A and B are shown apart, each in its own frame.
Chain A
Amino acid sequence: MELLGQKPTRFGFGDGLVVLGERHSNVVVLGGDITGSVMTSLFKDKFPDRFFSIGIAEQNATTIAAGLALSGKIPFFASYGAFCALRNADQLRISVAYNEANVKIGGGHAGISVGPDGATHQVLEEVAFLRTLPHMTMIVPADYEEAKKATIAMGEMVGPAYIRFGRSPVPMFTTPDTPFELGKANVIKDGNDVALIASGALVWEAILASQELAKKGISARVINVHTIKPFDFATVTAAARECGAIVTAEEHQVHAGLGGAVAECTAKNAPVPIEFVGVKDSFGGSGEPEELMVKFGLTWKEIYASALVAMERRDKGSSGVRAIKDVPSYA
């Protein structure tokens, strides 16, 4: 797996929207004032007749999108995830999900890698909420190309869907030829000693961790779960059965996000020790993205250390999940 450069996933969203606009005349975009930040400005410039500025009113924009969808349009509404996944939670639940309205939401500036804006804008809880909504598709792309492919895919599927993307540049490692299928996790690297199951920017960190583990003779399987819902039970269950130990990694609260989904899946199908890498029940804060990722324990080092713990628990025949505070940090 090769590093191909750095680019924010939001660029992939913006470019994907333009492709959709060219392909489908019923794709429309609603703006929430921050169109330059979440890259809907690209669509706005190219298709001004299909772009509507709704202003700073996420509840209204989400529900207007439902009305457009019930009229045969494919509306995208994008804002910061803090405001277009949680402030409008009731609208997403009833007007979008219960209605099975063909609404697409782009949630930008996700995670602590937003950086200096601080905790209010660093959404860390929306994956947990969205994956509990019936009918909802929830996507967390890992890099630019995947974000672009995911955006196009969500526009071309029928039903409510949400894509989470970030502000800061992140490593690019997928190419236009890398397979992408909604609901199908990508096994990036094979291995049978431990499974590193990650989403978003943490996929690259999992790859780095697997390289370090390889130096110790440990063969780690790396899985990119780009679609949190519908969840790929088969791939994760197989990883649990064949590796016997799992580490999940995500730029989200450790509760109820990707880690929760993996735990639900394996508890039912193949219980194995799991260690969870994520933000540990706290809010973010200001700082540069790189220093925040270190502060909150979202680097390959935590994944590496957690892999050793998970394997140790497996080998000692331990069961159950360790308390989060017990997870050792990499020293």
Chain B
Amino acid sequence: MDVTTKQSLEFNATTFPNERRSPEGFLPIATEIRRDIIRMLVRAGSGHSGGPLGSADIFAVMYFGGYMRYRPEDMQWEGRDRFVLSAGHMAPVMYASLANAGCYPKEEQATLRKYNTRLQGHPGRDMHLPGIETSSGSLGQGISIAVGMAMADKLLDKNDRRVFCLTGDGELQEGSVWEAVMSASHFKLDNFCWIIDNNDCQIDGRVPDVMNVYPIVEKAQSFGCDVIVVEGHDYADLMRGFDRFLQNQANGTGKPTCIVAKTYMGHGVSFMNDKFEWHGKPPSKDQAVAALEELSSI
């Protein structure tokens, strides 16, 4: 991909396969996901920039590292692993990941938040975008849905499908999250992988200032999870987290895996990095051009 294509506000047709790869192999994918997030949001004129940019590396590893088994051309395939975005407002990063995996046409990303789009402001299952397993957006609910899915797979259908779920860290203030985690360990769901995007930011400010949820690691451990803390922008470390999940499932540990990914909101775009003000707003045209320029060197 040449620099002009990378800097363009237009979407390109490049897609990436889902396979085991070396840590450095994720950088071009995560960067293209970030570029698409910028392209989507500047067109939409509203939406969330910070969380999607900050979690792009997690999504690159999860969707493109062979951890989730899926068929881009058939996202209804019965044997697929499922991902639930409990933090529904981070939809752009999921939409960009699915587009870059080839699940739907990349140019359709231009319709984010537009009338009749399959890319609703928060994921809407009724619009049938391939790869959207459930509607989400009211925080705390997605993780319970994911637990229900993991129960169906492990306890009823007795297969080896995996369920991944990402929550934010501010989302942990929703009490029902802990009901869900309690039940995940109660039912010994080692096929369940819970990722916390721990960027320490929410709309009103830093998470401990709005309502302290720390210590997160000890809380998750005491609720019965196997917790692994990773640097959320370090691909080798992220791989270590997802590998641990696969081992837990293969070994039948009976424990859900909790990956606490330390991230920075807005990471990859210097003027957004670690600024909670970017939680819920899109870039202006000038800011988008500047962001794409910064993201074009990779």
Residues of A at under 8 Å CB distance from B? 28, 50, 52, 54-55, 57, 59-60, 62-73, 75, 90-91, 93-95, 98-100
Instruction: Please tell me which one of the listed residues A60, A69, A70, A93 contacts residue B176 in the complex, with CB atoms under 8 A apart.
Output: A60
Question: Interface segment, B100-108, B130-138, B280-288?
Answer: B130-138
Which residue in A28, A50, A57, A70 is a CB contact (below 8 Å) of B145?
A70
Given contacts A50-B156, A68-B152, A71-B157, contact A94 B138 (CB under 8 A): yes
Check A60/B144 contact, CB under 8 A, given A67-B149, A67-B151, A98-B126. yes
A50: chain B residues at CB < 8 Å are 156
User: In the complex the two chains form, is B125's CB within 8 Å of A64's CB?
Assistant: no
In the complex, how many angstroms separate the beta carbon of A245 from the nearest chain B beta carbon?
41
Interface bits B182-219 vs A (CB < 8 Å: 1, else 0): 11000100000000000000000000000000000000
Q: Is the CB of A100 within 8 A of B126?
A: yes
A71 to B147, CA, bound (A): 11
**A-B contacts, 12 listed (Cβ < 8 Å):** A54-B183, A63-B145, A63-B176, A66-B145, A70-B148, A70-B149, A71-B148, A73-B152, A73-B156, A90-B138, A99-B125, A99-B126
Question: With an 8 A cutoff between CB atoms, is B248 at the interface?
Answer: no
- With a cutoff of 8 Å between Cβ atoms, the chain B residues found around residue A90 in the complex are 138, 141
Q: Which residues of B contact A65 (CB under 8 A)?
A: 148
Q: Are B135 and A60 in contact (CB under 8 A)?
A: no
Residues of B within 8 A of A91 (CB): 138, 141, 144, 176
Q: Shortest beta-carbon distance, B80 to chain A, in Å?
A: 12
Contact partners of A75 in chain B: CB under 8 A:
148
B141 touches which of A54, A63, A71 (Cβ 8 Å):
A63
- Taking a contact as CB atoms under 8 Å apart, the answer to whether A64 and B151 are in contact is yes
The contact string, 1 if C-beta is below 8 Å from chain A, for chain B 16-40, is 0000000000000000000000000
With A98-B125, A98-B126, A100-B125 in contact, is A57–B147 under 8 Å at CB? no
With beta carbons under 8 angstroms apart, the residue of B136, B138, B152, B183 that contacts A60 is B183
B124 within 8 A of partner (CB): yes
* Contact of A63 with B135 at beta-carbon distance under 8 Å, contacts A71-B157, A73-B156 already known: no
Closest Cβ of chain B to A304, distance in Å, is 46
Partner-A contacts on B (CB < 8 A): 124-126, 133-138, 140-141, 144-153, 155-157, 176, 179-180, 182-183, 187
Q: Smallest CB–CB gap between A10 and chain B, Å? A: 25
The listed residue (A54, A64, A68, A94) touching B135 by CB distance below 8 A is A94
Across the A-B interface, how many residue pairs have beta carbons closer than 8 Å?
101
Q: Which chain A residues border B138 with CB–CB below 8 Å?
A: 90-91, 93-95
Q: Given A98-B126, A100-B126, A67 and B183 touching (CB < 8 A)?
A: no
* Distance, CA A95 to CA B137, complexed state (A): 10
Q: Are B156 and A28 in contact (CB under 8 A)?
A: yes
Give, as a whole number of angstroms, the nearest-CB distance from A65 to chain B. 6
Q: Given contacts A67-B148, A71-B152, could you give 11 more A-B pairs where the C-beta distance is less than 8 Å?
A: A54-B183, A55-B182, A59-B179, A60-B182, A60-B183, A67-B145, A69-B148, A70-B133, A73-B152, A94-B141, A99-B126
Report A-chain residues with C-beta under 8 Å of the C-beta of B146.
67
Check B134–A66 contact: CB distance below 8 A: yes
User: Which B residues touch A52, using CB under 8 A?
Assistant: 151, 155, 187
Q: How near does chain A come to B229, taking the closest CB pair, in angstroms?
A: 25
> What residues of chain A lie closer than 8 Å to B124, measured between beta carbons?
98
B125 in contact with A67 (CB, 8 Å): no
Whole-angstrom distance between the Cβ of A137 and the nearest chain B Cβ: 17
Establish whether residues B135 and A95, one from each chain, have CB atoms under 8 Å apart when the complex forms: yes
B135 touches A67 (CB 8 A): no
CB contacts (< 8 Å) of B156 on chain A: these are: 28, 50, 68, 71, 73
Tell me how far the C-beta of B287 lies from the nearest C-beta in chain A, rounded to whole angstroms: 32
The answer to whether A71 and B180 have CB atoms under 8 Å apart is no
Contact across chains for B152 and A95 when beta carbons are under 8 A apart: no
Which listed residue (B134, B144, B150) contacts A99, Cβ 8 A? B134
Shortest distance between the CB of A25 and any CB in chain B (Å): 9
| Closest B residue, CB atoms, query A69 | B148
Measured CA separation A28–B157 after assembly (Å)? 12
Q: Given known contacts A70-B133, A94-B138, A100-B126, is B152 in contact with A63 (CB within 8 Å)?
A: no
Residues of B within 8 A of A71 (CB): 148-149, 152-153, 156-157
Q: Please, which residues of chain B bring their CB within 8 A of the CB of A57?
A: 176, 179, 182-183
Contact A67 B126 (CB under 8 A): no
What is the bound-complex CA distance between A98 and B120, given in angstroms? 13
